[in-house]
């Protein structure tokens, strides 16, 4: 993907320019402050917003470039966002059947089971809780067998307990159906639980592309800067905030200016990486 678009932000033009790879089967998290262009990126991948330039390809198929602009319906993308509407006059089962192109009863049964919706199959959307409705919305997207699933803060409206419950449903769906997914969330825990990789956007640009654990280190891990190395004493001097620390270098080599992750343990400071 290599997507360029001039957006109109409240503060003036915002030049969105994002390039990234998307491997089949992976879950990519999109993270970043409000207004940096996350939703617009998903809308362009889905074909709902036309980029100014660049190219969008998935699984070896070209969806957009200067000569191509595949219609949204031909891309095989399932888009779930907050407040995603179910048909109010249809039951849960009817909502799934309606969405299923091939009326695959086995897949519908499997989704009802995976998302624990069996008992709720005959209820209408107004008779469901927020978490239940969101489970139906996800099942309804999966029943369409999308090749790529785009989730725009799907769990945002839910409270902490329901979010955790939904995260486990999403994990289950990921292992059962293995659908390539891009997930926008503001929740680092959600990214660490669900995403294989995270792309952090800042002001229309990719500022980090890597493992969620590298962007959000575990609690207790601190980032320090190597100030100097005393080879004779096998010792490093580190700057941590305004403090200088001396720690054993344990025979590893470092260079001044290098940022390293450290953790305080009972026996002193230990260097993680
Ligand atoms: N079709 C469009 N044309 C021009 N500008 C747009 C268009 N759609 C959105 N924008 C602007 O682009 C900016 C980025 O919006 P976008 O919704 O992509 O950000 P976001 O990172 O998803 O933010 P949030 O986390 O708040 O949802 C906003 O200032 C918005 O007003």
Q: Whose CA is nearest to atom 16 of ligand 1?
A: 37
Q: Which residue has the tokens 């917003």?
A: 49
Would you say the CB of residue 35 lies under 6 angstroms from ligand 1? yes
Query: Which atom of ligand 1 is closest in space to residue 11's alpha carbon?
Result: 29
pLDDT of 46 reads: 95
- Contact between 69 and 43 (Cβ < 8 Å): no
Largest CA distance in the chain: 78
Residue 4 pLDDT level (bands cut at 50, 70, 90): very high
The best mutation among 13, 37, 47 to test binding of ligand 1, ranked by most ligand atoms within 8 Å of the C-beta, falls on 37
At the fourth CATH level, which superfamily is domain 2-215?
Answer: P-loop containing nucleotide triphosphate hydrolases (3.40.50.300)
- Level-2 CATH architecture, domain 221-271: Beta Barrel (2.40)
Range scoring the smallest mean pLDDT among 20-24, 97-101, 154-158, 204-208: 154-158
pLDDT of 91 reads: 95
Arithmetic mean of pLDDT over the chain = 88
Query: Which atom of ligand 1 is closest in space to residue 40's alpha carbon?
Result: 18
Q: Report the predicted TM-score, pTM, of the whole model to 2 decimal places.
A: 0.78
Residue 266 pLDDT level (bands cut at 50, 70, 90): low
Residue boundaries of the structural domains of the chain: 2-215, 221-271
pLDDT of 174 reads: 82
Res 130 pLDDT > 90:
no
CA 32 – ligand 1 centroid, Å = 12
Q: Whose CA is nearest to atom 31 of ligand 1?
A: 9
Q: What's the CA gap between 3 and 26, in Å, rounded?
A: 20
Would you say the CB of residue 39 lies under 6 angstroms from ligand 1? yes
Q: Whose CA is nearest to atom 8 of ligand 1?
A: 40
**Residue 15 phi, psi dihedral angles, 5° rounding:** -90, 105
Which tens digits make up the pLDDT trace of 147-197? 999 999 877 767 777 778 878 888 888 888 888 999 999 888 889 889 999
pLDDT of 33 reads: 87
Q: Whose CA is nearest to atom 24 of ligand 1?
A: 34
Which tens digits make up the pLDDT trace of 49-94? 999 999 999 999 999 999 999 999 999 999 887 666 789 999 999 9
DSSP code string of the chain: -EEEEEEEETTEEEEEEEE----TT-EEEEE-STTSSHHHHHHHHHTSS--SEEEEEETTEEEESSS-B--HHHHTEEEEETTPPPPTTS-HHHHHHHH-TT--HHHHHHHHHHTT-GGGTT--GGGS-HHHHHHHHHHHHHTT--SEEEEESTTTTS-HHHHHHHHHHHHHHHHHH--EEEEE-S-HHHHHHH-SEEEEEETTEEEEEE-HHHHSPPTTEEEEEEEEEETTTTEEEEEETTEEEEEE-TT----TT-EEEEEEETTEEEE--
The best mutation among 39, 150, 182, 184 to test binding of ligand 1, ranked by most ligand atoms within 8 Å of the C-beta, falls on 39
CA 210 – ligand 1 centroid, Å = 24
């Amino acid at each position: 993907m290599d997507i360029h678009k001039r957006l109109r932000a409240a503060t003036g033009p915002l030049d969105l320019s994002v390039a990234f790879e998307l491997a089949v089967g992976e879950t990519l998290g999109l993270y970043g402050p409000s207004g940096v262009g996350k939703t617009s990126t998903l809308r362009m991948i889905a074909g709902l917003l036309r980029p100014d330039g660049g190219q969008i390809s998935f699984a070896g198929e070209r969806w957009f470039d200067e000569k191509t602009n595949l219609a949204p319906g031909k891309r095989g993308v399932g888009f779930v966002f907050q407040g995603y509407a179910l048909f109010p006059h249809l039951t849960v089962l009817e909502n799934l059947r309606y969405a299923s192109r091939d009326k695959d009863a086995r897949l519908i049964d499997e989704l009802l089971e995976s998302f624990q919706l069996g008992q709720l199959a005959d209820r209408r959307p107004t008779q469901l809780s927020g978490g239940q409705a969101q489970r139906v919305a996800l099942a309804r997207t999966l029943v369409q067998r999308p090749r790529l699933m785009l989730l725009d803060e799907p769990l945002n409206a839910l409270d902490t307990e329901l979010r955790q419950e939904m995260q486990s449903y999403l994990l289950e769906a990921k292992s059962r159906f293995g659908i390539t997914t891009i997930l926008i969330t503001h929740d680092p825990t959600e990214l660490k639980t669900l995403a294989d990789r995270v792309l952090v956007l800042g002001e229309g640009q990719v500022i980090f592309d890597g493992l969620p654990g590298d962007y959000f280190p575990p609690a207790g891990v601190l980032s320090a800067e190597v100030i100097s190395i005393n080879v004779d004493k096998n010792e490093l001097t580190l700057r941590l905030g305004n403090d200088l620390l001396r720690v054993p270098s344990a025979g590893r080599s470092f260079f001044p200016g290098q940022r390293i992750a450290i953790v305080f343990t009972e026996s002193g400071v230990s260097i993680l990486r």
